[in-house]
Amino acid sequence: MANSTAAAVTLQHARRTERPAPRPAVLRPREADVLRQIAWGYTNREIASRLNLSVKTIENHKANAMRKLGITRRVEIVRYALQQRWFDFDITVDL
Residues 6+ apart with CB under 8 A from 37: 46, 47, 50
pLDDT in tens, 26-44: 999 999 999 999 999 999 9
Instruction: Report the number of secondary-structure helices (H) and strands (E) in the chain.
Output: 5, 0
Predicted structure pTM score: 0.67
Q: Is pLDDT at 10 greater than 60 in this prediction?
A: no
Distance (Å, rounded) from C-alpha 48 to C-alpha 56?
Answer: 9
